[in-house]
Amino acid sequence: RMALNDNKAGMQGLDKDKINQIIMDNTVGSRFYMNEQKREMQADDLLTEIEKQRDLTRTIIHIDMDAFYASVEERDRPELKTKPMAVGGMDMLSTSNYVARKYGVRAAMPGFIAKKLCPELVIVPLNFDKYKQVSKQTQEIFAEYDANFSGMSLDEAFLDITDHLQKRILYDEEERTFHYHHSLAVKQPQDSDSDLSRNVSETFGFSPEDVANELRFRIHQKTLLTASAGIAPNTMLAKIGSDLNKPNGQTYFKPNREEILKFVKDFPVRKVNGVGKVTEQLLSALDIKKCGDLYHRRGDLVLLFSEISCSFFFRISLGCSSNVLESSGERKSISTERTFNAISEHKELFAKLEELCQSLAVDMEKENLQGKTLTLKTKNVNFQLHTRSKTVTSPLFNFESVFAVAQKLLEQEIMNANNKLTLRLMG
């Protein structure tokens, strides 16, 4: 940001590099430079905190069916396999097969536009009962590997196979062998019709990749549909992995920090789960396209985004994310907030905070919930909303533990306020 801006009349053709070097050399030590450095240090503190939480001990698999609705329809009408096809209606498509994707036809596109892109496109109406039934079949398989698997939608799930891998060491060959559905056995030319013995079964090994292959094999045998998988130490990488070798493929991220960082560096930010169109555009305006750019621009991100957003971005840049699966439909947060006449006395602010924590603790107990992240929400007299969060290592489970963290957050809020902190809402 110190660099020369040469879009002023009469500045064409300058040696920008040389000029920037001189600016840089002479800015070191200036207040401007120190401020830049301070922000980078702030960012580095956050990065260190995240790095401390990196945990490479679990093995997570993300499984995602290929062109799910479309594949179910193709299975039941094989003549569609070679044609461009989509599922949905003229107003909206739910997905398309890989033939149609070549034309730019995809999910969340109106069918009438898709028809313009590909006039021979076949549009098949939705058949939810069929998709639900397949989903049930796959979930029966998932449960054998992780009873607490987390189903994200009909066609995708996260499994923590860490415990399975340990038990698996003791599995004999038979327990790792699965038989072909008769019609799916690959017939060799020398086989007679009654002799498919060479191809009737497949045996899988002990590694995480073997387990993913086994899962995908079993899904295919049971549903006649293919799935892709990502295997990684956390959910973010596992999710990325299931998409990388689609369709009918898988990707393994070893539990190795250096290799993960190397991969993440050049990976497009947009492809990370949770980075939507708006975030992509915001980051793109800052010329941030790859996950590695998030690290290089950490000082600017701290200046421009909230702490929660920065944490999210820095996690991405380090390839860190949760490896704790939430069971389907599980509640993720609980909150309480109050609006009141403006107060600024510290004693009053902390009293209000105490009251809120008490009320939250009662609700948590009722719902039998514990917390990992506490967020303090404030609205000042100028109606500016602000949130500040802290993630802790041991769970928050009662008034005392919640209030201890909340107090720290409020202290920071008071310290960082430009003027005397005066609030009209706290949550």
Instruction: Return residues touching ligand DCP (CB under 6 A).
Output: 64-69, 94-95, 107-108, 155-156, 246-247
73 binds, among ligand DCP, Mg ion, none (CB under 5 to 8 A by kind): none
For the chain, helix (H) and strand (E) counts, in that order, are 16, 14
Tell me whether residue 156 is one of the annotated catalytic residues: yes
Cα–Cα–Cα angle for 86, 270, 334, rounded to 5 degrees? 95
Under 8 Å CB-to-CB from 107, ≥6 apart: which residues? 93, 94, 95, 96
> Can you say how many angstroms the Cα of residue 115 is from the centroid of all Cα atoms in its chain?
32
Q: Which stretch binds Mg ion (CB under 5 A): 61-69, 163-171, 346-354, 415-423?
A: 61-69
Residue 68 interacts with Mg ion (CB under 5 A)? yes
Q: Site residues for Mg ion, window 297-356 (CB under 5 A)? A: none
Q: Which is nearer to Mg ion, 64 or 214 (CB)?
A: 64
Q: Which is nearer to ligand DCP, 94 or 150 (CB)?
A: 94
SS3 label, residue 296: helix
Per the residue annotation, which of 73, 74, 156, 413 is the catalytic one?
156
293 binds, among Mg ion, ligand DCP, none (CB under 5 to 8 A by kind): none
146 binds, among Mg ion, ligand DCP, none (CB under 5 to 8 A by kind): none
Q: Site residues for Mg ion, window 31-60 (CB under 5 A)? A: none
Cis peptide upstream of residue 110 (ω within 30 degrees of 0): no
CB 106 to ligand DCP: min, Å:
8
The residue within the footprint of Mg ion, chosen from 61, 64, 69, 313 (CB under 5 A), is 64
> Can you say how many angstroms the Cα of residue 320 is from the centroid of all Cα atoms in its chain?
10
95 binds, among Mg ion, ligand DCP, none (CB under 5 to 8 A by kind): ligand DCP
SS3 label, residue 358: helix
306: region left, alpha or beta (phi > 0 left; psi from -120 to 50 alpha) = beta
Q: How far apart are CA 287 and CA 296, in angstroms?
A: 11
Task: List, as one string, the DSSP characters of 133-160.
Answer: HHHHHHHHHHHHH-TT-EEEETTEEEEE
CB 155 to Mg ion: min, Å:
5
With b meaning 16 or more CB within 10 Å and e meaning fewer, what string describes 129-146? eebeebbeebeebbeebb
Q: Which is nearer to ligand DCP, 229 or 421 (CB)?
A: 229
CB 133 to Mg ion: min, Å:
17
Q: Site residues for Mg ion, window 151-170 (CB under 5 A)? A: 155
Q: Site residues for Mg ion, window 229-258 (CB under 5 A)? A: none
CB 273 to ligand DCP: min, Å:
11
Q: What residues act catalytically?
A: 156
